[in-house]
Amino acid sequence: LSISLHLNWWLPSEETLALPEFLSNFKTYIAQRLTDNGSGLTLTLSQAVRDAIQQDPEIVSIITSKGWTISPAPSV
């Protein structure tokens, strides 16, 4: 992405995060589409989404191999 995309209004439910399609879609539509030059850039996710993707080493590897850092959003 060449812009910031704010989805702070989106609060996925536990049911959504548990769907097999969630991780597949996150990988395809977010992780693989991040710029390859992410050095110094941070992907900020809700704690629940961060926890869900941490369960899939392939997604984490895609993100970190592109130089991105994964960070939880601050609690509100």
pTM of the model: 0.79
Q: How far is CA 75 from CA 7, 26, 33, 37, 70, in A?
A: 15, 22, 27, 28, 15
Q: Using DSSP, state whether 42 is helix, strand or coil.
A: strand
pLDDT given for residue 58 in this prediction: 96
Q: If you count them, how many residues does the chain have?
A: 76
pLDDT given for residue 20 in this prediction: 84
pLDDT given for residue 76 in this prediction: 61
In sequence order, which ranges of 1-76 are alpha helices (DSSP H)?
14-18, 20-29, 47-54, 57-65
Q: Can you say whether residue 62 is alpha, beta or left, with left for phi > 0 and alpha for psi between -120 and 50 degrees?
A: alpha
Residue 1: pLDDT above 60?
A: no
